[in-house]
């Protein structure tokens, strides 16, 4: 069953394969998840599952509140049928995978999940780099003939979708690699894989992803070497990157480009909706209606390009508070292991530290984009949360 979990997490982007079973829209990822969950229920006794879930403590209550927020937001959505699909894909199924991981996987088995995830991320990135030169599966608007540079999408539909997927995984893998974790049999092969992922992330030209990864890895380096040893190399590295004209232009363009202005306008619409209805927001799949009501004339988006605003407008006050509680409880699990008096195995502590960096990257990136409300992002977020609770 661990290999089945590894398959689901490594191939999370197959949610892009969409179809219908009768009147029910679904994805290939959802079919895999349902198949795994059915197999798990058949294999394990219900009494054992209940006992293990109970032992997880307060995270259960936080999750219940998060699910309740999703149900309420679905009921009050202007489009409840579509909202029900989002409830299923972004909340119910990822949470069930969270429980599946913490109930069936221990710290020694987690490498069975991490290694395939690493290699698939490398392959997705490698295709993106190939795409940069070949233009295969790259829409003309991303070819770089206008104001923006050429931007890769790999297997996704938009550069931002690729950057949202790669950024937390890259930070997660770098954290493990710097601390001696064997992503592959050879540390140099792992390094080359990370170089491929990092290069792909750069040529997405996502400024939010750059910022999130830079700050997260800066935290890792401080933890690894201390501030005094890394501050000068970090400054030199940033200056070296700024010598690359396309990167420098992309950063300076962000001060007043149309994309930034549109994001700010969408965030303003989100803030106004919260002020208008702070408890319920606009319901799941409701931000499109909110934009129409606000008279927004730009391209319609599903979310306000900010994770925290998106959580509040989509899931209400209960949604964002329970989400924050979930993260707080998870990070406390890392603190417990970090300050333990003795440990025969430092491996679980490293995994939790890397998961903390994953979450940090998601939150920083979430300042300028919606780093949760996609099938793959929600699934990987709950995978990261599960790493704080896996058995040693």
Q: Are residues 95 and 217 in the same domain?
A: no
Calculate the CA 216 to chain-centre distance: 14
What is the spatial distance between Cα 42 and Cα 64, in angstroms, rounded to a whole number? 24
Q: Is 21 a domain residue?
A: no
Classify residue 323: in a domain, yes or no.
yes
Same domain, 337 and 275: yes
Same domain, 223 and 346: no
> DSSP letter at 345?
-
Looking at the structure, do residues 314 and 364 belong to the same domain, yes or no?
yes
What is the tens place of the pLDDT at every residue in 31-71? 999 999 888 777 776 667 888 899 999 999 999 999 999 99
Asked if the structure places residue 170 within a domain, the reply is yes
pLDDT at 346: 58
For the chain, give the percent of residues with pLDDT over 70: 95
Is residue 181 situated within a structural domain?
yes
Task: Decide: 109 and 1 in contact? Cβ < 8 Å.
Answer: no
Tally of domains in the chain: 2
Please provide residue 177's backbone torsions phi and psi, each rounded to the nearest 5 degrees. Answer: -65, -45
367 plus 304 within the same structural domain: yes
164 contacts 305 by C-beta, under 8 angstroms: no
In a shared domain, residues 326 and 226: no
Is 129 within the bounds of a domain?
A: yes
Domain extent for 148: 111-253
Distances (CA, A) of 380 to 21, 82, 341, 385: 25, 22, 31, 9
Is 26 part of a structural domain of the chain? no
d(CA 175, CA 180): 9
Same domain for 212 and 115 = yes
Confirm whether 370 is domain-assigned. Answer: yes
Token output for 210: 């750059």
Q: Which of 47, 152, 32 is nearest to 89 (CA)?
A: 32
pLDDT at position 198 over 90: yes
Verify that 187 and 315 share a domain, yes or no: no
- What pLDDT digit, counting tens, does each position of 110-162 carry? 999 999 999 999 999 999 999 999 999 999 999 998 778 999 999 999 999 99
Say if 22 falls within a structural domain: no
For the chain, the average pLDDT equals 92
Same domain, 101 and 151: no
Q: Are residues 235 and 349 in the same domain?
A: no
Which of 218, 253, 288 terminates a domain? The answer is: 253
Confidence of residue 341 (pLDDT cuts 50, 70, 90): very low
Q: Which of 190-199, 310-319, 338-347, 370-379 shows the lowest mean pLDDT across its residues?
A: 338-347
Q: Which of 229, 253, 277 is the last residue of a domain?
A: 253
Our measurement of the distance from residue 341's CA atom to the centroid of its chain's CA atoms, rounded to an integer in Å, reads: 32
Are 149 and 54 in a shared domain? no
Q: Which of 113, 78, 147 is nearest to 1 (CA)?
A: 113
Q: What is the pLDDT of residue 274?
A: 98
Mean pLDDT of 196-222: 97
Give the max Cα distance, the chain.
Answer: 61
User: What's the pTM?
Assistant: 0.95
Work out the pLDDT band at 337, boundaries 50, 70, 90.
low
Domain finish residue from 253, 288, 319: 253
Residues 97 and 117 in one domain: no
How is residue 391 annotated by DSSP? Answer: B
């Amino acid at each position: 069953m661990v290999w089945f979990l590894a398959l689901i997490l490594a191939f999370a982007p197959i949610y892009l394969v969409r179809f219908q079973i009768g009147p029910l829209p679904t994805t290939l990822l959802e079919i895999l998840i349902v198949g795994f969950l059915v197999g798990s229920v058949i294999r394990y006794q219900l009494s054992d599952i209940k006992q293990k879930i109970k032992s997880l403590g307060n995270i259960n209550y936080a999750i219940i509140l998060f699910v309740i927020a999703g149900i309420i937001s679905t009921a009050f959505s202007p489009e409840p049928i579509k909202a029900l699909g989002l409830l299923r894909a972004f909340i119910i199924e990822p949470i069930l995978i969270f429980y599946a991981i913490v109930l069936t996987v221990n710290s020694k088995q987690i490498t069975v999940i991490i290694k395939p995830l690493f290699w698939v991320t490398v392959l997705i990135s490698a295709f993106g780099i190939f795409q940069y030169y070949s233009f295969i599966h790259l829409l003309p608007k991303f070819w770089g003939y206008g104001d923006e540079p050429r931007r890769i999408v790999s297997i996704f539909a938009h550069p931002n979708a690729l950057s949202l997927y790669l950024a937390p995984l890259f930070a997660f893998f770098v954290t493990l690699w710097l601390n001696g974790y064997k992503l592959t049999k050879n540390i140099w092969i792992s390094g080359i894989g990370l170089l491929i992922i990092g290069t792909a992330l750069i040529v997405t030209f996502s400024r939010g992803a750059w910022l999130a990864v830079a700050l997260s890895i800066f935290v890792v380096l401080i933890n690894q070497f201390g501030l005094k040893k890394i501050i000068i190399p970090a400054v030199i590295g940033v200056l070296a990157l700024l010598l690359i004209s396309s990167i420098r232009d992309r950063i300076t363009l962000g001060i007043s480009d149309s994309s930034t202005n549109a994001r700010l306008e969408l965030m303003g619409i989100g803030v106004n909706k919260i002020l208008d209805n702070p408890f319920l927001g606009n319901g799941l799949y409701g931000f499109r209606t909110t934009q129409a009501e606000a008279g927004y004339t730009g391209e319609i988006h599903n979310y306000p390009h900010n994770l925290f605003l998106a959580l509040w407008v989509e899931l209400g006050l209960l949604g964002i508070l329970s989400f924050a509680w979930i993260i707080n409880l998870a990070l406390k699990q890392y603190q417990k292991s970090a300050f333990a008096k003795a440990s025969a195995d430092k491996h679980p502590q490293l995994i939790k530290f890397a998961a903390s960096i994953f979450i940090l990257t998601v939150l920083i990136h979430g300042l300028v984009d919606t780093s949760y409300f996609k099938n793959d992002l929600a699934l990987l977020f709950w995978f990261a949360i599960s790493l704080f609770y896996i058995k040693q």
